[in-house]
Amino acid sequence: MGATLKDATAIAGIGQTPFARQLPESEKTLACRAIVAALDDAGIAPSEVDAFASYTMEETDEVEIAKAIGAGDVTHFSKVGYGGGGSCATVAHLAAAIATGQASVGVAWRSRKRGSGPRPWKNTRVQLPTPGQWTRPFGLLRPADEIGMLARRYMHEYGATRDHLFNVALACRNRANQNPAAIMYERPLTREMYMTARWISEPLCLFDNCLETDGALACVVVAAERARDCRQRPVYVHSAAQGLPAQHHGMVNYWNDDPLTGPAWTAARHLWKGADLGPQDVDVAQIYDAFTPLIPLSLEGYGFCGRGEGAAFTEGGALEIGGRLPLNTGGGGLSEAYVHGFNLITEGVKQLRGTSTAQVPDAATCLVTAGEGVPTSALLLRS
Amino acid sequence: MTPIVAPATDNRPDNGADLLLPVPDEDGAPFWEYAARGELRVQACADCDELRFPPRPCCPHCQSFAARWQRMSGRGRIWSYVLPHPPLLPAYAEQPGYNAIVVELAEAPRIRLVGNLVTAADAPLNSVDPARLRIGAPVKAVFHTMPGGVTVPRWLLERP
Ligand SMILES: [Zn+2]
């Protein structure tokens, strides 16, 4: 066995811009603001940054960011594919680079103007990877349609209901109602609102879909030893994993043997293998929620319950504060902001610092996941 | 990069103005060529006979690069379905209540094709009452030539 990632690095700083449907500043400006804030949070000078990681879908590139913030010589940079599947892997790539001496101060970020930006399904000439020819002509146009197809099958196979999906939407909304930075702060959700909401792609309604948000976030990763000298309490990267299952096809994963065991299952096996902890030790979870059905699918994949039991897991307030597994305590993509899941990472850090607006008492371990349904990634953080 | 979908250029107000046309890639082209002849064929390994979808250059089972296209019966069952609602591309929004379905093929259930359930090959995408959609319902393939000349498989209920 070679070096292990286990607790070798830590997230030392986090930063974010305001979240809104529309922000006036450019993605580049927002990215710089989030990164500078994260470095300030850590107490590290921008000139010390020598590593960058973001998503392939991130449109502000590291050359421009490094210049703008005043980074020094950069010795590691990487980008992770598959949209929201890349969030946790950005931190994982920095952790690996720092643990192996490729760099010493890494910044991961996501800046996104989706609230103001174009909607890809409105562009008939958009170029798509291979699955497009097998799906788009038939009117399977948007991610909501693609995940709706899996959701319908999941409901059919396991008796999951819209009430189960509502449990997910409600838990996220309740936490956003506690979070002044959330877009859905002070905007409660009721079961009646959910059940009478307009459809987006049956069986998914408006509240099963994430927000459209402008905003940016960043975090700073350093060696564990260095983190102990920073301004904030270190949040250790205990384990990290990516997951691309055999014969997986991305969001339209209808073609492998078992489309309901998605990338979460693959990432989870590796995540737990590299950890001293198991699902039973997780105090709070930030699970990627671009669509509500991703939560029961992920609960199963990461081993919080058995196959087909993810919907039932949401019953009885299990995902609320005080429940079995408090979920998405900043409000998540459904109700805080949808920034390709990066806010789930920073919220995990807040929980382990004890500074969340919906703090789980004595939270010491947090699972953070990236997009399920696409090649994904996950982090197990500990205080 | 080859564009995979493109809009139809001529308008047919009854059915399919500006629906997205499949733009085949190199691996997928034979599927559409057979569809234009009214045949539903799936790529198979010429060495080990494993079917694979979507088409690709190499057999994941035996790594052979030799492929053939196996004719299927065109019978299958609905594996899942959605009813997309706006915001949608205009041509799809003009057919409210349309469906998109996934069909698992009768002789190869892990080969699943996305399509539309319709009442006749050339009927609108919303021609079937959504209440008739049911997971497990047996369906059979028919072929519809879209404006722009590309033929796509569509699906009819076996017991309409
Ligand atoms: Zn073969």
What does the pLDDT read at residue B8? 46
What does the pLDDT read at residue B105? 98
Kindly give the distance from the C-alpha atom of residue B67 to the centroid of ligand 1, in angstroms, as a whole number: 8
Q: A275-284, B5-14, B66-75: lowest mean pLDDT where?
A: B5-14
Each domain of chain A, given as residue ranges in start order, spans 9-115+210-382
pLDDT tens digits for chain A (383 residues)? 457 899 999 999 999 999 999 999 999 999 999 999 999 999 999 999 999 999 999 999 999 999 999 999 999 999 999 999 999 999 999 999 999 999 999 999 999 998 776 555 555 444 444 678 999 999 999 999 999 999 999 999 999 999 999 999 999 999 999 999 999 999 999 999 999 999 999 999 999 999 999 999 999 999 999 999 999 999 999 999 999 999 998 888 898 889 999 999 999 999 999 999 999 999 999 999 999 999 999 999 999 999 999 999 999 999 999 999 999 999 999 999 999 999 999 999 999 999 999 999 999 999 999 999 999 999 999 99
Closest chain A residue by Cα to residue B111 = A255
How many angstroms separate the CA of residue B135 from the nearest CA in chain A?
A: 8
Q: How confident is the model at residue B3 (pLDDT cuts 50, 70, 90)?
A: very low
What does the pLDDT read at residue A118? 58
How many angstroms separate the CA of residue A13 from the nearest CA in chain B?
A: 39
Please pick, among A55, A158, A302, A338, the residue that the annotation labels catalytic: A338
What does the pLDDT read at residue B4? 45
Closest chain B residue by Cα to residue A247 = B60
How many angstroms separate the CA of residue A360 from the nearest CA in chain B?
A: 37
Interface A–B counts its CB contacts (< 8 A) at 134
Task: Single out the residue of A368, A344, A360, A340 nearest to residue A80, CA to CA.
Answer: A340
Known catalytic membership, residue A154: no
B 1-40 residues with CB below 8 A of A? Answer: 1, 3-7, 18-25, 27-28, 32
Question: At A225, phi and psi to the nearest 5?
Answer: -60, -45
Put simply, whether A273 touches B (Cβ < 8 Å) is no
Kindly give the distance from the C-alpha atom of residue B63 to the centroid of ligand 1, in angstroms, as a whole number: 6
Cross-strand partners of A209? A291
Closest chain B residue by Cα to residue A203 = B82
| Strand (E) or helix (H) holding B67 | strand B67-71
Pairing of strands B100-105, B108-115: antiparallel
What does the pLDDT read at residue A250? 85
For the question of an ipTM over 0.90, the answer is yes
Q: Residue B6 and residue B90: Cα distance in Å, rounded?
A: 14
* Residue among B32, B79, B125 minimizing CB distance to A153: B79
Known catalytic membership, residue A288: yes
Q: Helix/strand/coil (H, E, C) string of chain A?
A: CCCCCCCCEEEEEEEECCCECCCCCCHHHHHHHHHHHHHHHHCCCHHHCCEEEEECCCCCCHHHHHHHHCCCCCCEEEEECCHHHHHHHHHHHHHHHHHCCCCCEEEEEEEEECCCCCCHHHCCCCCCCCCHHHHHHHCCCCHHHHHHHHHHHHHHHHCCCHHHHHHHHHHHHHHHCCCCCCCCCCCCCCHHHHHCCCEEEECEEHHHECCCCEEEEEEEEEEHHHHCCCCCCCEEEEEEEEECCCCCCCCCCCCCCCCCCCHHHHHHHHHHHCCCCCHHHCCEEECCCCECCHHHHHHHHCCCCCCCCHHHHCHHHCCCCCCCCCECCCCHHHHCCCCCCHHHHHHHHHHHHCCCCCCCCCCCEEEEECCCCCCEEEEEEEC
Q: Are B157 and B138 in contact (CB under 8 A)?
A: yes
- What type of residue sits at position A372? E
Q: Residue A254 and residue A314: Cα distance in Å, rounded?
A: 25
Q: How many residues does chain B have?
A: 160
> Does B1 have pLDDT greater than 80?
no
* Range A9-115+210-382 has CATH code 3.40.47.10: yes
Q: What is the pTM of this model?
A: 0.95
* Residue among A121, A133, A148 minimizing CB distance to B28: A133
When the pLDDT of each residue in chain B is averaged and rounded to a whole number, the result is 90
What does the pLDDT read at residue B71? 98
